[in-house]
Amino acid sequence: MKELTQEEWQEKLKNDKDAVILDVRTEEEVDEGYIPNAKNIDIYKGQGFINEVEKLDKSKHYYIYCRSGKRSSQACTLLDQMGFSETYNLLGGFSEWEGDKTTD
């Protein structure tokens, strides 16, 4: 896992053809807005989270965020332990995100 500031995250993301954005917040939080093209897997689902993560391509690079950066840090650690090669945690999370946002 590597901790990235917003600036580092955006810079690295735009040059990464293997990037996958992973939002580990709850559905209610996601309904309030999210980073475009993010895949949502709620870390609070426990084994359900693990089951969904196991379906992901381990060779991709995962840019993971939550509301504040704490859950995403846990998710990065978990993915690292599961054999994912590159995980990046967004410092400050979505609550401090100043980049593009969207809602459905």
pLDDT 10s digits, 17-58 = 999 999 999 999 999 999 999 999 999 999 999 999 999 999
Say whether pLDDT at 5 is over 90.
yes
Distance (Å) of CA 103 to CA 23, 39, 79, 87: 13, 13, 27, 25
Tell me what the mean pLDDT of segment 55-67 comes to. 97
Would you state the pLDDT for residue 26? 98
At residue 103 the predicted structure's pLDDT band, cuts being 50, 70 and 90, is confident
At residue 7 the predicted structure's pLDDT band, cuts being 50, 70 and 90, is: very high
User: Considering only CA atoms, which of 12, 47, 19, 43 is closest in space to residue 30?
Assistant: 43
Which of the pair, 103 or 74, is modelled with greater confidence? Answer: 74
Please identify which of the residues 41, 66, 75, 76 carries the catalytic annotation.
Answer: 66
| Cα 95 from Cα 69, distance rounded (Å) | 9
Residue range 80-97: mean pLDDT, rounded: 96
Is 66 catalytic? The answer is: yes
Residue 82, helix vs strand vs coil: coil
Q: Is the dihedral of CA 40, 46, 52, 54 positive or negative?
A: positive
pTM of the model: 0.96
